[in-house]
A and B are shown apart, each in its own frame.
Chain A
Amino acid sequence: MNHERIVGTAVPRKEGREKVTGKAVYVDDMVLPGMLYGATVRSQIPRGRIKKITFETSVAWSEFVIVSAKDIPGKNCIALIGDDQPCLASDSINHPEEPVLLLAHPDRHALRKAVDAVSIEYNPLPAIFTMEESERGSEIVWGTDNVFKTYLIQKGNVDDVWSRADYIIEGEYSTGAQEQLYIENNGMVAAYDAKQGITVWGSLQCPYYVHKALMALCDLPAEKVRVVQMETGGAFGGKEDYPSMIAGHAALLAMKSGKPVKIVYDRAEDMAATTKRHPSRTRHRTALSRDGKILGGEIEFTIDGGAYATLSSVVLSRGAIHAGGPYYWPSVRIRAKAVATNAPPHGAFRGFGGPQSIFAMERHMDRIAQVVGLSPVEIRRRNFLQPGQTTTTEQVVRELIDLGKLLDRAISVSEYQTKKQEFAIENGTGATKKGIGIAAFLHGAGFTGSGERYLSSVVGVEGCADGGVRILVSSTEFGQGTKTVLCQIAAEALGLRYEDVTIAQPDTTEVPNSGPTVASRTVMVVGKLVESAARGIHQTLKLSGMLGDSYSAEEFRAACQAYVAGHGQLRSWAQYDPPPDVFWDDEKYRGEAYAAYSWAVYIAEVSVDLTTYSVSVNDFVALQEVGRVLHPVLAIGQIVGGVAQGIGFALFEKVIWQQGRMQNNQMTNYIMPTSSDLPPIRVFFEELGNVHGAFGAKGIGELPMDGPAPAIVNAIEDALGVRFDSIPLMPEDIYDAITARSLRGEDEVASVIR
């Protein structure tokens, strides 16, 4: 391969100029002639049956378009993996903020009053709000047992290890719900025409998810449903499944009114009604040898899925597979379970189960280190996965990863050892305690197990009449840099200039299904297909005798123009072809869970103010191996942005629940990090390369969400000598723990069983 010219350089973001000049068009910037505004009437109770709906007479209802479940032409569900979630509740209510009715009116202000003028009477039913209540099963709120999904991962015979263990160490860890808090709220515009069918334009991650949901809901064939992604102002997983709901609502109103309808949520509605990160609970029981090697263990991973199945089964799967961390387990049994409660369904958020189970694993490693009497560094070093060993799903590590080397470099750049010594001295006096903590982790790129094979993504590349090249994918841009990196890949593959390549707006009438833009799969999986489809264009031009093996950008342009002039169209397609050596058993949950993993060691330095009990992160080192870095500025942006969200997950972002409803659904009382809250975040890459991704790239987007929370909480324990196993960790939690300890007058004794 020639020396790469474009991949690895910081070319300008494709849609960057529109963004910095305010010209980028988001869904709320769209206006169609005669357009109505739509709003949603939602349930106010967590569980029950609708008894009666009353429309107060203060409103001129004849001016409104009103849609109920009876107006749905197709199936009343949001088709995704299952179809248990209704688009509009007709009888049963299973969570607060469940959509019941839709209203549309030309005047936005009139809508709010109208929503308030609909009153719903209920026959309430007992509801459940915690995983424990759900597991007890005193109320069955979903299926026959409140369980959406279970997995069992077994490796070796873990029952044998307990008798020969020198240490058996237990721990329980939990993480809270987290709001994605993209700055652009969810929104859709829909228009209907009997001949063309339904078109929706919106803020979304997965055009073909919305397409599938609308076909079922509106009872329309594929060609009569068109989904167009507008510029999308942040997503982070939060626009993976719920946009199908809003698209459905806008479509129903458009079909009934015959006019275009816009539904854009305000912040309060977006936060209360749409998905969040699944709350989780992880229990570890680990057997270790005297020298601190893991002999085996049991891990029980449970997540709260909320009221409907939505994406919980796949979040659970990723969380379960990542639960063992980057360590070698000779034997392990992982039991994973997603349970139902009467909260709005939890959904995708960057990391997708990984941040939950990795928080537990990395807190547990520090606990193991204390009990065994090794440092947090040494306990990890002794247990790191090595090439040739197998993961918990018995996937052989083929990548030549050297986690010990990553750890050494992270320790060196963070000055871990020096700081550790300094803090030990400084912490003796003064009201500020400092600490430093480590997290080591991995993140699988692409869909889990057979996922990519089922998706069977298709990508197109087109040679255009003007001689330029255009990429056709349903993969969406929402800030990560999809457009830029895919154009870099095509330009590199064809030997063109970056400027010669453009990318189509995701529109299901124009682009093939390259799969959802999730799971850190875009650069690795879709990028590889773009590379291959781009090479196909050259192949066609070469076979037609219009271009040789080496050519200039101008020669390519001329050949492309001539081909299109002569043949009408020049297109090349590539479809995902699973690597022959990838084996996955869906029944036993065993095999190659991911085609590639990214690996990382993060180190956080904190100070805890014992006057306010607030935690500041003072320094953060993020070192990772993500394969080839295709765009250094975008890659650093992904890492820093992910770390910032991870800091929020650990220290700031607490959803206050009451009867299954988020109470602090405002930016003023749900606190995300501001410009003043973040430390220097120092980003380092190791680049090993990867055979599966375009030009050696692997996944990067989700990885940085996994490590910050455990690194920070490990650092807090280092500072205070008090254990915290639950996040978000708020100042009041620290106050309570410190007060409780001083009341007991002794340090907590580790509960070592043996």
Chain B
Amino acid sequence: MSSSGEDRSKSEISFTVNGEQKTVLAFPMERLLDVLRLQLGLTGAKEGCGEGECGSCSLLMDGTLVNSCLVPALQAQGASIVTIEGLDASAGSQRLQEAFLECGGAQCGICTPGMILAASHLLNKNPRPTLEEIKEGLSGNLCRCTGYLQIFEAIATAAGRETAASS
């Protein structure tokens, strides 16, 4: 198990993360999640299941919501990536984060970064989603704590709408 041999099979991969240009040396099939967490120290994306089921590793890649545990590093070549760490900038994102705080959308917090990215992605496409559209938009993100209703409420609140999801 010689490490120099392994380095030769690694590739230089360049992409933009949260507006910054980055170049990393990684195995082409290494998970983007690991590259971000271990090489770039962006630990906001979490590993929940490692098979694209739970969505806690969600991030935005060229504006699309992806599960970074399923994305090979090479696929990120030239892409523009936004993680939870980069979401702070816009007013819309801050409104979303505030709404999660206010409505109880975050309990243990482990699904929260992915959930907020999924919500942000939804609101970018559809600024006034109905409850059904919110449910659909979050269908790839699992939360074990909240039973989702306070998350729906947070998204509806951020979108400036009331919802009858919970009393």
Measured CB to CB, the residues of A under 8 A from B are 10, 12-13, 15-26, 28-29, 59-60, 63, 107, 110, 180-185, 231-236, 266-267, 478-481, 633-634, 636-637, 640-645, 666-668, 672-676, 678, 680-684
Question: When the two chains form the complex, which single residue of A183, A641, A672 contacts B110, counting CB atoms closer than 8 Å?
Answer: A183
A183-B54, A233-B109, A644-B147 known; A20 vs B142 contact (CB < 8 Å): no
The count of chain B contact residues (Cβ–Cβ below 8 Å) is: 57
Decide if B106 touches A20 in the complex (CB within 8 Å): yes
Knowing A266-B50, A640-B166, A667-B142, say if A20 contacts B107 (CB, 8 Å). Answer: no
Contacts of B148 in A (CB 8 A): 640, 644, 675, 678
Residues of B within 8 A of A645 (CB): 144, 147
How far in angstroms is the closest Cβ of chain B from A643?
6
Residue of A nearest to B150 (CB): A637
In the complex, what residues of A have CB within 8 A of residue B112's CB? 19-20, 22
A184 pairs with B101, CB closer than 8 A: no
Q: Nearest residue in A to B47 (C-beta to C-beta)?
A: A28
CA distance A675 to B146 in the complex (A): 10
* In the bound complex, CA of A678 to CA of B150 (Å): 12
- Which residues of chain B come closer than 8 Å to A29, judged between CB atoms? 37, 43
B149 with A681: CB separation less than 8 A: yes
- Which of B44, B87, B107, B110 is in CB contact (< 8 Å) with A480? B107
> How long is the Cα–Cα vector from A644 to B143 in the complex, in angstroms?
10
Interface centre among A18, A231, A633 (most CB of B within 10 A): A633
A-B contacts, 19 listed (Cβ < 8 Å) = A13-B101, A15-B109, A16-B100, A22-B43, A25-B43, A63-B1, A182-B110, A183-B111, A231-B109, A266-B50, A267-B50, A479-B109, A633-B103, A637-B147, A644-B148, A668-B51, A673-B147, A674-B142, A682-B166
Contact of B49 among A19, A20, A267, A643 (CB under 8 A): A267
**Most chain B C-beta atoms within 10 Å of own C-beta, residue among A25, A29, A637, A643:** A637
Please determine whether B116 and A678 come into contact, CB atoms closer than 8 angstroms. Answer: no
Interchain CB contact (< 8 A) of A20 among B48, B56, B101, B166: B101
B145 CB within 8 Å of chain A: yes
Interface of B is mostly: loop
What are the residues of chain A within 8 A of B166 when measuring CB–CB?
636, 640, 680-683
Q: Give the residues in chain A near B43, CB-CB below 8 Å.
A: 22, 25-26, 28-29
A12 to B136, CA, bound (A): 28
Inter-subunit contact B113/A22 (CB<8 Å):
yes
The number of inter-chain residue pairs (CB within 8 angstroms) is 182
- What CA separation (Å) do A266 and B102 show in the bound complex? 32
Are A183 and B108 neighbours in the complex by a CB distance under 8 Å?
A: yes
- Residues 21 to 45 of chain B near chain A (Cβ within 8 Å): 37, 43-45
In angstroms, how far is the closest chain B Cβ from the Cβ of A218? 29
Report Cα–Cα, A395/B8, bound state, in Å: 73
CB-based contact A234/B142 at 8 Å: no
Interface pair A183/B144, CB less than 8 Å apart:
yes
Residues on A with beta carbons closer than 8 Å to the beta carbon of B135: 675-676
Instruction: Give the residues in chain A near B83, CB-CB below 8 Å.
Output: 22
Partner of B108, one of A18, A23, A478, A672: A478
B63 contacts the other chain (Cβ, under 8 Å)?
Answer: no
Cβ of B164 under 8 Å from chain A:
yes
Residue of B nearest to A184 (CB): B110
Query: Is A676 touching B110 in the complex (CB atoms < 8 A)?
Result: no
Most chain A CB atoms below 10 A, which of B1, B46, B56, B104: B104
Q: How far is the CA of A21 from the CA of B148 in the complex (A)?
A: 19
Indicate if the CB atoms of A183 and B48 lie closer than 8 Å: yes
A236 touches B144 (CB 8 A): yes
Query: B84 touches which one: A22, A235, A637 (CB < 8 A)?
Result: A22
B46 touches A20 (CB 8 A): no
CB distance B142 to A16 under 8 Å?
Answer: no
Query: Do A667 and B101 touch (CB < 8 A)?
Result: no
Contact with A along B76-105 (1 / 0, CB 8 A): 000000011101100000000100111111
B residues 111-167 with Cβ under 8 Å of A? Answer: 111-113, 116, 134-136, 138-139, 141-152, 164-167
